[in-house]
């Protein structure tokens, strides 16, 4: 157990600002803060701006992802409480809520995961302008498989294969940081009035889970570990992942790890080392490698956004390509509602609308259709995915949308043949029948 009462931490009162790192295991900042603090607290803040409708008619975060995050926070709060660390949850402007807490609790040091996309940077700047300059800032990268300090940035080019080969050959995945810390009960603060918010508190409507969903899971670090244990050790589904990963129906055609990875309920390192153990003890094949391959793809898009910054949000993407994009609200809404000329697109969009989930194969097809058939501004689609997807991750979302739309990392600039895709991946129309229920919209 890490000693939190040694001489050099006397009087140190620290705060961990949780962002997309909602876990206690393999959490570098939390482990370091616990080792170097006499008192330690956690805080999470729901920015109320996320739940206001934009000019396309939907909020940046809808109920599916918000509910998953609330479940994740509930588990995190309980796990921290076991170690006598209070997690305070607020709704409002993060800079105000966090700066007020820092003042109220005489915080000396604040720890938080480094983020580099525009909104997160502005959020951080506002906070730093609102707190005393004597408060020590401890930032850390904790969402990568390959840590940025270990990667030669000159090898981060625009081709995934080059990046992958460089990392596989030259970069080691760091070991997991075990959560061995604990505090006495005196560390807790009275938070009886700090109940977890509800969807209604966030301005969102409650919903019942659709029985057809391919993602019938709850959020949280324990739920993430349970899914990892099931997918590897209990079912051994990981041994068949490469064959099933393009599936459309059911909970086991893919790992579904992306949702827990997106809000940091589990780290990519935890998954990586579990797969390595599985390969050693059970089986090593193309499928187990392909799961690691997907984790590297996730890293790749994070490094691309690190390299290009706000270009990933520009209409020309990182390639600065000029296309004649349309801003046709009617066609876009038909796409959202699953009322296009393509039944396969419609089925996938209705699945997303009803569940907050869509398969990887579906995402590629609907994105290609919006950008290369309807020629609608691809960022509208990226915005809608941001609102609806349980597993939304800013880097993967915008990286993939750029890729499919011809303004990102695909050197071939491909266009999907939707009918061919439907025939190949849904040959008996089982998926389409499930979501269209015999109705064809034109």
Which of the following CATH numbers is that of domain 221-309: 1.10.510.10, 3.10.20.30, 1.25.40.80, 2.60.40.10?
Answer: 1.25.40.80
Assign 253 to helix, strand or coil. coil
Predicted TM-score (pTM) of this structure: 0.95
CATH classification number, 329-436, choose in 3.30.420.40, 1.10.579.10, 1.10.10.200, 3.30.1490.20: 1.10.579.10
Closest CA to 120 of 104, 103, 143, 102: 143
Residues 44-54: pLDDT tens digits? 999 999 999 99
Q: Return the structure tokens found at 278.
A: 């599985």
394/195 Cα distance (integer angstroms): 28
**Hey, where are the domains in the chain?**
12-142, 221-309, 329-436
If DSSP codes are grouped into helix, strand and coil, which group holds residue 122? helix
- Pick the closest to residue 173 from 140, 143, 147 (CA basis): 147
What confidence tens digit (pLDDT) does each residue in 402-419 have?
Answer: 999 999 988 677 899 999
Give the model's pLDDT for residue 193: 61
3-state secondary structure of 76: helix
From first CA to last CA, the distance across the chain in angstroms is 63
The DSSP symbol for 376 reads: B
pLDDT score, position 437 = 83
Measured CA to CA in angstroms, residue 388 lies from 50, 262, 397 at distances of: 12, 13, 12
Q: What is the CA radius of gyration of the chain?
A: 22
Instruction: Give the helix/strand (H/E) hosting 221.
Output: helix 221-229
SS3 category, 426: coil
Q: What is the pLDDT of residue 411?
A: 64
- Report the pLDDT value the prediction gives residue 413, as an integer from 0 to 100: 74
Q: Which CATH architecture has domain 12-142?
A: 3-Layer(aba) Sandwich (3.40)
**pLDDT at residue number 4:** 38
Please, are residues 342 and 369 in contact by the beta-carbon 8 Å criterion? yes
Contacts of 124 (CB under 8 A, 6+ apart): 112, 115
DSSP code string of 279-314: HHHT--SHHHHHHHHHHHHHHHHHHHHHHHGGGGGS
Helix (H), strand (E) counts: the chain:
17, 5
CA distance 140 to 232: 30
Provide block-wise average pLDDT over 10 residues at a time, the chain (442 residues).
Answer: 46 95 97 95 96 96 98 97 95 95 96 95 95 96 97 91 96 94 90 82 96 98 98 98 97 98 98 98 98 98 96 95 94 98 98 98 98 97 98 98 93 86 97 81 39
Given phi > 0 = left and psi -120 to 50 = alpha, else beta, which region is 414?
Answer: beta
Number of neighbouring beta carbons within 10 Å of residue 33: 24
User: What's the pLDDT score for residue 138?
Assistant: 97
Q: What is the pLDDT of residue 187?
A: 93
């Amino acid at each position: 157990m890490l000693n939190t009462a040694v001489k050099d931490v006397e009087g140190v009162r620290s705060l961990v600002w949780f962002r997309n790192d909602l876990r206690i295991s393999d959490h570098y900042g939390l482990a370091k803060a616990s080792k170097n603090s006499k008192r330690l607290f956690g805080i999470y803040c729901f920015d109320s701006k996320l739940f206001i409708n934009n000019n396309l008619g939907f909020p940046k975060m809808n109920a599916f992802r918000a509910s998953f995050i609330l479940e994740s926070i509930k588990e995190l709060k309980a796990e921290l409480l076991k170690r006598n660390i209070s997690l305070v949850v607020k709704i409002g402007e993060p800079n105000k809520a966090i700066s007020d807490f820092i003042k109220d609790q005489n915080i000396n040091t604040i720890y938080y995961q480094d983020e580099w996309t525009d909104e997160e940077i502005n959020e951080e700047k506002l906070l730093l302008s609102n707190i005393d300059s004597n408060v020590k800032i401890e930032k850390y990268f904790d969402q990568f498989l390959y840590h940025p300090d270990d990667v030669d940035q000159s090898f981060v080019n625009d081709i995934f294969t080059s990046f992958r080969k460089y990392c596989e050959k030259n970069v080691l995945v760091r070991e997991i940081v075990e959560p061995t810390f604990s505090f006495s009960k005196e560390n807790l603060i009275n938070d009886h009035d700090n109940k977890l918010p509800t969807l209604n508190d966030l301005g969102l409507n409650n919903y019942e889970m659709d029985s057809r969903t391919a993602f019938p899971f709850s959020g949280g670090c324990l739920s993430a570990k349970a899914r990892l244990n099931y997918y590897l050790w209990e079912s051994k589904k990981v041994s068949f992942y490469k064959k099933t990963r393009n599936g459309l129906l059911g909970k086991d055609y893919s790992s579904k790890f992306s949702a827990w990875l997106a809000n940091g309920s589990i780290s990519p390192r935890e998954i990586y080392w579990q797969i390595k153990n599985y390969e050693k003890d059970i089986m090593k094949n193309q499928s187990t490698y392909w799961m690691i391959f997907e984790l590297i793809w996730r890293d790749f898009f994070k490094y691309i956004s690190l390299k290009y910054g706000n270009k990933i949000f520009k209409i020309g993407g990182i390639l600065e390509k000029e296309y004649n994009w349309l801003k046709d609200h009617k066609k876009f809404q038909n796409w959202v509602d699953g009322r296009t000329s393509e039944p396969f697109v419609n089925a996938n969009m209705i699945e997303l609308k009803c569940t907050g989930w869509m398969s990887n194969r579906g995402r590629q097809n609907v994105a290609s259709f919006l950008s290369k058939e309807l020629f609608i501004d691809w960022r509208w689609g990226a915005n809608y995915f941001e609102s609806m997807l349980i597993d939304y991750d800013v880097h993967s979302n915008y990286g993939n949308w750029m890729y499919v739309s011809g303004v990102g990392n695909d050197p071939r600039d491909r266009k999907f043949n939707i009918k061919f895709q439907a025939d190949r991946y849904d040959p008996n129309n089982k998926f389409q029948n499930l979501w269209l229920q015999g109705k064809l919209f034109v």
